[in-house]
């Protein structure tokens, strides 16, 4: 199998490295000056506070650290996620935790107004969500892989996908994984981001969600996932993504 040219592989974003059948991670080691200077708007869509952080917190920290603008859209405020608390109380606690996590990652939070455990899809909600993304006008969007055991994750994924379709595929669309096996299922990355240097920041952002008991309930799984994805692409720790092959009207990456 021949080499893949960097431009074909990465499109305009030059963000991610890919294995794409070569078995080796390929990086934009010598980006062209114009590409290197361009600051991107990156939006990450998650079902609940803690999903964007656990799914791609290392990637967020990496690109925010390079000066790119990162916005996290939380579909819900995690209203159903704390036993013994009312939905209102849980929403307040978890919104504050999300704010703290965003500070750690240097991202800006947005809450999209749906309710944890009760998320819905209908024409007006599709439209409302598309407007949120229209306002942000992102270059790149990361969201949940749609085959996921949690309904809210599936809703977040489909809202994002619909916004991408109806908005004319203006941004590059990537999918991330959370709690692989238990939540995200049958996911095989096409692209990887080396998060070896940002793993500790990702961990701190995940641990900002203290109400979710990250030390036992979701951090160990993600730590193992990141090690495994790192082994797949030849680095210490990585996050894996699936890139939609029709980003910017491109077909599957061409081989040079
Ligand atoms: Zn979730």
* Residue 219 clears pLDDT 80, i.e. is over it: yes
Residue 133 belongs to domain spanning: 39-249
In angstroms, how far is CA 48 from the centroid of its own chain?
Answer: 12
1: in domain: no
238: in domain: yes
Predicted pLDDT of residue 15 = 56
Look at the chain and report how many structural domains it folds into: 1
| pTM score | 0.87
CA–centroid distance, residue 179 to ligand 1 (Å): 9
29: in domain: no
- 191-210 residue pLDDT tens: 999 999 999 999 999 999 99
123: in domain: yes
CA–centroid distance, residue 199 to ligand 1 (Å): 20
59: in domain: yes
CA–centroid distance, residue 47 to ligand 1 (Å): 5
164: in domain: yes
- Per-residue pLDDT band for 38 (boundaries 50, 70, 90) equals confident
d(CA 88, CA 13): 39
Predicted pLDDT of residue 4 = 34
236: in domain: yes
* Residue 18 clears pLDDT 90, i.e. is over it: no
25: in domain: no
Extract the runs of DSSP E, i.e. beta strands, from the chain.
Answer: 17-18, 41-46, 69-76, 108-114, 140-144, 172-176, 191-194, 238-243
Predicted pLDDT of residue 33 = 52
d(CA 120, CA 11): 33
Calculate mean pLDDT across residues 152-174: 97
Predicted pLDDT of residue 36 = 57
CA–centroid distance, residue 148 to ligand 1 (Å): 10
- Per-residue pLDDT band for 122 (boundaries 50, 70, 90) equals very high
* Residue 69 clears pLDDT 90, i.e. is over it: yes
CATH code of residue 114: 3.40.50.10320
d(CA 101, CA 70): 13
**CB 194 within 8 Å of CB 25:** yes
- Per-residue pLDDT band for 26 (boundaries 50, 70, 90) equals very low
């Amino acid at each position: 199998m021949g080499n893949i040219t960097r431009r074909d592989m990465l499109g305009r974003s030059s963000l991610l490295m890919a294995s794409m059948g070569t078995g080796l991670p390929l990086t934009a080691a010598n980006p062209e000056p114009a590409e290197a200077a361009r600051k991107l708007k990156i939006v990450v869509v998650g079902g609940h506070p803690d999903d964007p952080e656990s799914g791609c917190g290392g990637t967020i920290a990496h690109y925010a650290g390079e000066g790119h603008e990162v916005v996290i859209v939380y579909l819900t405020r995690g209203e159903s996620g704390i036993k013994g608390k009312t939905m209102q109380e849980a929403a307040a606690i978890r919104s504050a935790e999300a704010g703290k996590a965003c500070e750690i990652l240097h991202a800006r939070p947005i809450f999209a107004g749906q309710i944890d455990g009760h998320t819905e899809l209908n024409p007006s909600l599709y439209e409302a969500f598309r407007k949120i993304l229209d306002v942000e006008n992102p270059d790149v969007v990361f969201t949940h892989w749609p085959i996921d055991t949690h309904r809210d994750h599936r809703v977040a994924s489909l809202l994002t996908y619909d916004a991408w379709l109806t908005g004319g595929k203006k941004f590059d669309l990537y999918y991330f994984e959370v709690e692989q096996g238990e939540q995200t299922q049958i996911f095989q990355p096409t692209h990887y981001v080396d998060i070896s240097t940002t793993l500790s920041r990702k961990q701190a952002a995940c641990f900002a969600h203290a109400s979710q008991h990250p030390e036992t309930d979701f951090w160990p799984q993600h730590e193992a996932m990141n090690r495994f994805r790192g082994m797949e692409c030849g680095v210490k720790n990585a996050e894996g993504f699936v890139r939609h092959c029709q980003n910017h009207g491109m077909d599957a990456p061409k081989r040079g």
